[in-house]
Structure formats: C-alpha cells, structure tokens
Structure 1
Amino acid sequence: MSNPHAILFVIPLTFIIAFMLTIVPLPEWAVLWRPEWVALVVIYWSMALPRRVGVGYAWILGLLLDIIKGTLLGQHALGFAVIAYLTLRFHQRIRVFPLWQQSFAIGLMLAIHLLLLLWVYGMMGRAPQTSLYWGPVLTSMALWPWVFLLLRDVRRRWCLGVN
C-alpha cells in the first residue's frame, strides 16, 4: 500500500504523535524519566530518509518544541540540529548495527543533546540539582528498539520507494 504522496503526511504525523507524547501529563515521579520522543523520531527519520529529514527539519522541530514547552527559544533547536547532523554523518554505520548497539549510539546522541540543554540551563542559572536529569537518556535507549521497529513498519507500509 505505497503512495508516493504519503510521505507528505506520514512524517509530519509521526512528529505530531511525538509532540503529543512529549506533553502528555505524567505522574510526578515519572516526569524525570520521560523519553525524548521528538528526538527519537528525528533520529529515526534522519537515518531512514536522510534526503528528506535533515538539520533544517530538526531545527524547526526544536523551535516548535521550545514554543510548546515554553523554554528558551532555540535550546531544543540547537540540540536537535546537532542530533540530526550526527545521525546524517553516521547513518550508514548506525543502520547496520543490531538494535541493542543502535540503542547505545542513540543514547550517546541524546546525552549530547541533554548536555547542550544543561549548558543553556547553566547559563540561565537554572541547572538541575539532581542526577535524574539524565533519566530520559536511559528510557529513550530502552524504547529505541520499539520506536525503530514501529517507524520502520510505518515507513515500509506508507513510504516504500521514497528516498
């Protein structure tokens, strides 16, 4: 069931779902463990369709996330642009890794993203006081295999033949 125009709504729809998962209310104990949904989807699409989703796309998504979360404009955009660049730079290597190794590569990229956010928070004088700040890296790494398999199935079903 491949449609050449499906790519026009499939990729944005996956990002809308990722944004929804990012803003869904969670119990207080779980907030610090919320996966980086939008970043995971940016990584997947940058790896799967590097000619379609790149640094510019990631920058715009980061700005949207900054607006949605009410954070300093550009902090997530910077992190997502770096993630997209690293994914584009190494996508051919990462794609051949088994899923458990991909999870570690994704974890490293997300740690860089959170390190950039930490740098911005530190400059603003709002650095987190807990080591649980790094919790999203662990949960995102644990969820990567399922995110990858789900998005791969969506891509194969709706976007087959699209580069």
Structure 2
Amino acid sequence: MNPAATSPGSGGFIIMATFLVGLMLSQIPLPYVIEWGRPEWVALILIYWVMALPHRIGMGSAFFLGLLLDVIKGSVLGLNALSLTIIAFVTLVLHRRLRMYPRIQQSMMIMVLIGINQLLFHWMQAFTGYTGDSLMFLLPCLASGIIWPWLFVVLRGIRRFFRIR
C-alpha cells in the first residue's frame, strides 16, 4: 500500500516534487525555433495547486517559487517572484469560478493568466533594460493553454492517488 495514501491530508512533499518537476521542465534546453513557445510550467503547476488547494498554496508559495525561478534562470531577482505572486492572487480570487468551468474554458482562462504573467514579466524587464521588440514573448500563453487540459488531468490524478487535501 502507498505510504502517503494511509495519511490523508499530507502530501507537502508531493506538491514540492511537482514544483521541482516544473522547475526542471522550465530549464530543459530546447532548439531556438521552439524556445519561444515553451509553456510556463511553473506558473501552470502553481495555478493548478492554488485552484485545488487554496488553503495550502497561495501567494507566499508563489513568491518563494518566483525567487527560486529567478535564481535558476539568472534573471533580475524579484521579477518572476512578483509576476507569480500576482498570478497566484488572481487565481485565489477566481479559484471557485475556475473550478466550475469546463476544461476548454479553463484553458482560455489559463491563456489569459499566463498572458498576464508574460506581460508583467516583459514590462518589468523593460525597466531593467533586458527586453526585445517582438511579441514572441506571448507564445507561451498559447502553448500553456493547449497543455492545460492534460496537465490538469495528470496533477488531479496525482492529488487523488496520494489523497492530498
């Protein structure tokens, strides 16, 4: 029998493991042609856990993840932290509504949330002088929206298998 399944409500280690997988997926080298279309794995996993467990995962977790992502990516400290914290806040405000939407409508909302994340990050990069002139930075919104239904099913399966509450 699964040890985590015997203690309902636990699962902090599993949640951290999913975030670790998201951090690793965000750093896997991709060819330059598809690098711009990389889904925002950390933001997607954060949105799922905030939707599923708003009492356990919130803006503090988002800020810590953002700082960790800043360190890993080598970006200006605080850029990802601020944008992920804002995304977590919006998700916390809308989590009951988002749960009721069908997967396709959720995907559209995820595209909007990731778009907000990308715009905030791009806007903050403009202040630090590390920005480009193209709108290619919005491609992860589309990729994240396409991946969302499958990621949702996988993370929900993990949450149910380990009885995380």
Shorter-normalised TM range? over 0.9
Q: Distance in 2 between matches of 1:7 and 1:155?
A: 8
Q: Establish whether residue 128 from structure 1 lines up as the match of residue 132 from structure 2.
A: yes
Structure 2 stretches lacking a partner, 5+ long:
none
- The offset of 1:126, in angstroms, is 2.3
- List aligned pairs for 1:3-152, cutoff 5 A: 3-4=7-8, 6-152=10-156
- Structure 1: which 4+ aligned runs deviate by more than 4 Å? none
- The offset of 1:30, in angstroms, is 1.0
Question: What is the number of equivalent residue pairs in this alignment?
Answer: 161
1:51 partner SS: coil
Give TM-score scaled by structure 1 length: 0.95
Q: Distance in 1 between matches of 2:113 and 2:135?
A: 18
- The offset of 1:120, in angstroms, is 1.1
- The offset of 1:96, in angstroms, is 0.6
1:130 partner SS: coil
Give TM-score scaled by structure 2 length: 0.94
Q: Distance in 1 between matches of 2:62 and 2:109?
A: 18
Cα-Cα RMSD? 1.2
Q: Distance in 1 between matches of 2:138 and 2:72?
A: 21
Q: Distance in 2 between matches of 1:5 and 1:104?
A: 30
Equivalent in 134, 158, 161 of residue 157 of structure 1: 161
Which deviates more from structure 2 when the two are superposed, residues 47-56 or residues 114-123?
A: 114-123
